[in-house]
A = this chain, B = another copy of it.
Amino acid sequence: MNQQQLACFAKVCSEELNVSRAAVALFTSQPAVSRHLQNLEEALGTPLFERRGRKLIGLTNAGKRTLHHAQVVVAQFEALERIAREERNPRGGTLSISTTHTQSNYLLPDVISKIRHDYPELRFNLHQSMPIQVAEMVASGVANIGIATESVSKHPDLIALPAYSWNRLLLVPKGHPLELLDEITLESLASYPMVTYVTSMTGRKLMDSAFEKAGLVPDIVIAANDSDTIKAYVNNGIGIGVIAEMAFTEEDAKRFSMRPLRHLFDNNITRVAIRRAYVPSRVELDFLTRLSPYWTEEEIVNIVEMPKEKLKARIEKIEKSMLKGAGG
């Protein structure tokens, strides 16, 4: 039994038991991975996979138990390499974050400037993409921290910590009829052409389901990836905008009127995703604790190492306290 065998095993599991893809991800040949799996099973003296012919179709009980420790080993090796890198170049260090446009442009600048104050020479890798890619990038190790509202909590190799909750607001050009309407209702929103996020992003699903429940169909003329695009089209008079609260800046207040929509839609929860068993670095822990008031350093370290069932309960607890406290 050695590290490479375990790394292969973990990667094959995270690649849905596809040996070929695992080989690509590990920058090696497919027979090499195949052999490592055989040798690992031989070394442990017990099969790890359920097989149908030559295909791997599932994990045995032993495989399930082994997987967790294999992931821990892989993560510890990563941590050792990071420590060495930090010691070689104490000033360096990189915060590698993958996130969506809204988080990247309206949530992160504030947190990052605070972190930069404490770590002046820290470098940032900010990857911006769609929620599913955010999850993929963290799972594959391209980024170490993912921030998104969708997708990240479903990936089996990721742990998704609820970071904060938020809602939507209505964005209209100054002088628009909705600006001064007593109470904004779903009906009033549905009676205007609307510009908002695409289906896969920024809590769009929660909005859709609210309209559906009311038996309404919003007239979404343009669906965009990012808040800035939405603002541009609203500014051009194409329609009314529905965007995330945190995307409304002081600058926007000069051009637009804004109406809160908390009474119409459920709160969304934005989550931070890290790989299971990942060992966060010093800087990453600082970043995460600054990002959300709902967890402490100690908790993060504990949570990463938790078994699945216990983790679920813990996360639900955080979400409850979050939704109670009105969030933001």
A327 to B143, CA, bound (A): 50
Shortest Cβ distance from A79 into B: residue: B69
A300 to chain B minimum Cβ distance, whole angstroms, is: 13
Residues in B whose Cβ lies below 8 Å from that of A1: 77, 80-81
CA distance A305 to B79 in the complex (A): 15
- Chain A 74-88, CB within 8 Å of chain B: the 1/0 string? 001101110110011
Complex CA distance for A305 and B44, rounded to whole angstroms: 25
A174 to chain B, nearest CB (A): 55
Contacts of A43 in B (CB 8 A): 84
B88 and A66 within 8 A (CB)? no
20 interchain pairs, CB-CB under 8 A: A1-B77, A1-B80, A2-B3, A3-B3, A45-B84, A46-B87, A46-B88, A61-B87, A62-B87, A65-B83, A65-B87, A66-B83, A69-B83, A69-B279, A70-B80, A73-B73, A73-B76, A73-B77, A298-B310, A302-B302
Question: Interface on A for B, CB 8 Å cutoff?
Answer: 1-3, 6, 43-46, 61-62, 65-66, 69-70, 72-73, 76-77, 79-81, 83-84, 87-88, 279, 298, 302, 305, 310
